[in-house]
Amino acid sequence: MTLLAPQIGEALFLNYHGALWFVPALEPDHWDWRNAAPRRLGHPLFDAADLMAEFLRQTHAELVPLIHRM
């Protein structure tokens, strides 16, 4: 599950263990996966990171039953 955030030039995603990571944008629709990193103190969204991670987890949990019906 990935959340695109063009307002800050990044995408946010949960890694395999459920930790929130940030991926910088290179240009529209292109992401710098080599520089993906977990949230860090000082990041503009550090304070909101827990809320966004929970949003992504809940969204994933709600979508899984729909996906498995297909």
Q: Which residue has the tokens 């459920």?
A: 18
Q: Which residue has the tokens 């995408």?
A: 11
pLDDT at 14: 86
Q: What is the pTM of this model?
A: 0.71
Q: Is the pLDDT of residue 70 over 70?
A: no
pLDDT at 60: 85
* Cα–Cα distance for residue pair 29/57, rounded to 1 Å: 23
pLDDT at 23: 92
pLDDT at 68: 79
Spell out the SS3 assignment of the chain: CEEEECCCCEEEEECCCCCEEEEEEEECCEECHHHCEECCCCCCCCCCHHHHHHHHHHHHHHHHHHHHHC
Give the pLDDT confidence of 21-62 residue by residue, as tens digits.
989 998 888 889 999 988 777 777 778 888 888 888 898 889
